[in-house]
A and B are shown apart, each in its own frame.
Chain A
Amino acid sequence: MESDSVKENAGPSFPEGEYPLVQLDDLRTWFSFGRSLFRPPVSVRAVDGVSLSILQGETIALVGESGSGKTTLGRTILRLVEPTDGRLLYAGMDITHAWQKDLIWLRRRSSIIPQDPYSSVNPTFPVYRILDEPLAVQHIGTRAERSERIDRALENVKLNPPSLFVQKFPHQLSGGQRQRVAVARAMILEPEFIVADEPVSMLDASVRISILRLLRQIQERFRIAFLYITHDLATARHFSDTVGIMYAGKLVEIGPVGSIMGEPLHPYTQALMEAIPDPDPENRLRERPALPGEPPILTGPPPGCRFHPRCPIAKAGLCEVEEPPLRELRPGHWVACHLAS
């Protein structure tokens, strides 16, 4: 980064320490469609009032079912989508509505690992070009320096020896190897923040763990903050520091991984945990507790608590009327439920 030939803004700087890298304040991302002369537009409230902060070097897992808004939240934080309302701070700087051309520094300091290693890399590029592109776009280094950096990135993701891989095309690699290339690409600009959007859901169980381990090692070594978006509570348990549970565009529970797993306080989190089987031959002998129904449609979410129509403990006159705020019920452990205590 030192060999910088461009005069762009390097973005905000901030003191070392427990300073929030990313801060969200009542952030909303709505998608509108169907606008016409005679009709107001319909809005899908994908992210609807989320507040959280991500510290430097922290891994925070965002867990939710499909349609809960977790991917949209990740994309909004990286400003790949513009928020509708609320505030988004990156290292203390307000980037809620910043122009894309003023965010080139953000593109260098953050990156994304996409879900599908089969479609996220250009099939006509060899590995070398896949990794060279971010560097070329950011005008970093000479050819020799870039080549050196690509070799180092491949070593970091354990594609050894790099000389064997740089000339290969994606179709010559296995799914796990492709995902390692996607990780190397996300790492190549030495970012401080990475959004990993379901990085292992397309991979085999045994390969999954090796990629998640790798991400954990890289994060500890380079002090990168990770937003790990997943639907899999079990991997979130083993590969994150903080867990946030999303339901219908809202954060319903967030806290340290041990506190959430040891004592889930929101009835949705409890139901989610009960629905997931660990391998045990006795599972066969009993029904698995599972909530009926489906998550709500986000164009017109239920009033009050969005979970109340499916909630086993919902209280009439309260839950469908009043929206529960996030309350800190255990140290650092916040829950949005009227009835949790």
Chain B
Amino acid sequence: MAILDIRHLRYYYRTRRGAVKAVDDVSFSIDSGKTLALVGESGCGKTSTATAILRLLPRNVETYEGQVLIDGQDVMAYDADEFRRKVRWRGISMVFQGAMNALSPTARCGLQVAEPLMVHYDVEKEEAIEAARAELKSVGLPDYVAERYPHELSGGMKQRVVIAMALIMKPRLVILDEPTSALDVMTQANIINLLKRLLHETGLAYLFITHDLGLASELANDVAIMYAGRIAEIGPATDVYRSPQHPYTQKLIQSVPLLRSEIAPEFIPGAPPDLTNPPLGCRFHPRCPYAFEPCGWSSSEFASILGEEVPPAGAEKIHISHVAKFGTKDPWTLVASPSGETNVSALASELRDLAARWRASVPFLRAIDDIREGDGRVIVKLHQGRSPELIGRDSHRAACWLLQDGGTTVGE
């Protein structure tokens, strides 16, 4: 049975600009002795997923729902006190990003590592520190470290102290949030080796959060690629790395500069979306080179692209003159009013020409279903987009419309 199983987890928080949909229907599970790497760009909801699992919620949380099962037990039903006693540290502990800089400067490392034992199990201080010494030894630190203050240690040693702290309560799962991001490459390699060793020696499991696909491959049995609050692709590391299905995963893999290859890295044009107002349909469609009819181009996206705010790459050449303004009636209906120099039928035929001519090379134009005239305006009907489900064979699944009709492979 899976140690951690999360199902349809949603976690939104309120801001002045609306709810940020940081985690939006995320499901995955992790077995004992295994590592799931959660990979994505900054702001895609990786860390929010971790804090949602541990229920470390800010005050402005708006939605927090779904199921979090630890050893089959749904912990969402626990009240705050029960959750603290049974889940945090004991069931799941976490190594936070930059945690080595959050060690208390005024307490010796041994005491800091021992503290969870004293708080949760009422262990005597001396006994707890003795246990801390053993734990520090198991993460490869010399004896004297227990007596030292954090400022006396190097970055790599402090990171080992933090890992010892996460292990002292013998948790079932450790969440590692960018555990090596502030360290030098050599120290990083040493820490990763330590994490590998600990995984093999104990029955632990890791949820490994990183933006670095190279680093993820050091630990991952399974990989989940996250984009804009959703999982774009999930599966065994071998499948995801060797035959990525989602265009985002493909692009992400191509964007890694390789040390051992001449193949030049590519970048993904555009930027991740604003999660207060994520794109409709597939959230990746504005940056996707293969986006087609069902992917979810909306009328407001059309209005801003054709209204020449910021055209996406490849669409710079699309230029419409003689439009007074673009309006939107609903997400799938765009209304264009002609300016004084032209009339409705001329504008409609200009739009039709444009759509026919650039359809093949400029993805968003494929979303046009029909162009009609009416009421002195041109009405552009768009294909309705829907959010794609995660589908695929066995455990390797991706959420992409290109895969929805029987699992064809994306790309050339």
Chain A residues packing against B (C-beta within 8 Å) = 65-66, 160, 164, 174, 176, 204-210, 213, 231-235, 237-238, 261, 271-284, 287-292, 294
In the complex, which of the residues B41, B193, B215 contacts A204, with contact meaning CB atoms closer than 8 Å?
Answer: B41
CB distance from A77 to the nearest CB of B (A): 23
The reply to whether A284 and B185 form a contact with Cβ atoms under 8 Å apart is no
The reply to whether B217 and A280 form a contact with Cβ atoms under 8 Å apart is yes
Closest to B266 in A: A209
| CB within 8 Å for A288 and B189 given contacts A209-B267, A278-B214, A279-B241 | yes
**A174, A205, A208, A274: residue with the most chain B Cβ atoms closer than 10 Å:** A205
| CB within 8 Å for A237 and B257 given contacts A281-B220, A284-B221 | yes
| CB within 8 Å for A272 and B186 given contacts A207-B267, A278-B256, A287-B193 | yes
The reply to whether A279 and B216 form a contact with Cβ atoms under 8 Å apart is yes
Interface residues of B, count at CB 8 A: 52
Q: How far is the CA of A254 from the CA of B1 in the complex (A)?
A: 53
Closest to B184 in A: A65
Chain B residues packing against A (C-beta within 8 Å) = 35, 41-42, 154, 156, 184-190, 192-193, 196, 211-221, 236-238, 240-242, 251-253, 255-261, 264-269, 271, 309-310, 316
User: Which DSSP category, helix, strand, loop or mixed, fits chain A's interface?
Assistant: helix
Given contact pairs A204-B41, A205-B212, a sample of 6 additional A-B residue pairs in the complex whose CB atoms are under 8 Å apart: A160-B316, A232-B257, A237-B259, A276-B189, A284-B221, A294-B154
Q: Which of chain A's residues have a CB closer than 8 A to the CB of B219?
A: 284
The reply to whether B238 and A281 form a contact with Cβ atoms under 8 Å apart is yes
Q: How far is the CA of A153 from the CA of B156 in the complex (A)?
A: 42
Q: How far is the CA of A288 from the CA of B192 in the complex (A)?
A: 8
Q: How far is the CA of A272 from the CA of B188 in the complex (A)?
A: 11
The reply to whether A290 and B255 form a contact with Cβ atoms under 8 Å apart is no
Q: Which of chain A's residues have a CB closer than 8 A to the CB of B213?
A: 205, 279
**A210, A277, A279, A280: residue with the most chain B Cβ atoms closer than 10 Å:** A279
Q: Which of chain B's residues have a CB closer than 8 A to the CB of A287?
A: 193, 196
| CB within 8 Å for A238 and B264 given contacts A164-B310, A174-B271, A294-B156 | yes
| CB within 8 Å for A277 and B186 given contacts A238-B265, A290-B193 | no
The reply to whether A205 and B217 form a contact with Cβ atoms under 8 Å apart is no
User: Tally of A-B residue pairs with Cβ under 8 A?
Assistant: 125
Q: Which of chain A's residues have a CB closer than 8 A to the CB of B190?
A: 290, 292
Q: How far is the CA of A235 from the CA of B256 in the complex (A)?
A: 9
| CB within 8 Å for A276 and B259 given contacts A65-B186, A209-B267, A281-B237 | yes
The reply to whether A275 and B188 form a contact with Cβ atoms under 8 Å apart is yes
The reply to whether B259 and A284 form a contact with Cβ atoms under 8 Å apart is no
CB distance from B229 to the nearest CB of A (A): 16
| 25 pairs of residues in contact across A and B, judged by CB atoms under 8 Å | A65-B186, A66-B184, A205-B211, A205-B212, A206-B252, A207-B267, A209-B267, A210-B267, A234-B259, A237-B258, A274-B189, A275-B188, A276-B259, A277-B217, A277-B218, A278-B260, A279-B256, A280-B214, A281-B236, A283-B218, A284-B196, A284-B221, A287-B196, A288-B189, A289-B189
Q: How far is the CA of A206 from the CA of B265 in the complex (A)?
A: 9
The reply to whether A204 and B185 form a contact with Cβ atoms under 8 Å apart is no
Q: How far is the CA of A160 from the CA of B312 in the complex (A)?
A: 11
Q: Which of chain A's residues have a CB closer than 8 A to the CB of B217?
A: 277, 279-284
Q: Which of chain A's residues have a CB closer than 8 A to the CB of B265?
A: 209, 238
Q: Which of chain B's residues have a CB closer than 8 A to the CB of A274?
A: 189
CB distance from A137 to the nearest CB of B (A): 31
**B189, B192, B211, B219: residue with the most chain A Cβ atoms closer than 10 Å:** B189
Closest to B220 in A: A284
The reply to whether B214 and A290 form a contact with Cβ atoms under 8 Å apart is no
| CB within 8 Å for A231 and B257 given contacts A238-B264, A280-B241, A281-B217 | no
Q: How far is the CA of A275 from the CA of B189 in the complex (A)?
A: 6
The reply to whether A279 and B253 form a contact with Cβ atoms under 8 Å apart is yes
CB distance from A26 to the nearest CB of B (A): 27
Q: How far is the CA of A238 from the CA of B38 in the complex (A)?
A: 27
CB distance from A339 to the nearest CB of B (A): 20
Q: Which of chain B's residues have a CB closer than 8 A to the CB of A276?
A: 185, 189, 214, 259
Q: Which of chain A's residues have a CB closer than 8 A to the CB of B192?
A: 277, 288
Q: Which of chain B's residues have a CB closer than 8 A to the CB of A208?
A: 255, 267
In the complex, which of the residues A206, A209, A290 contacts B41, with contact meaning CB atoms closer than 8 Å?
Answer: A206
CB distance from A310 to the nearest CB of B (A): 9
The reply to whether A273 and B184 form a contact with Cβ atoms under 8 Å apart is no
The reply to whether B211 and A288 form a contact with Cβ atoms under 8 Å apart is no
CB distance from B286 to the nearest CB of A (A): 14
Q: How far is the CA of A282 from the CA of B156 in the complex (A)?
A: 25
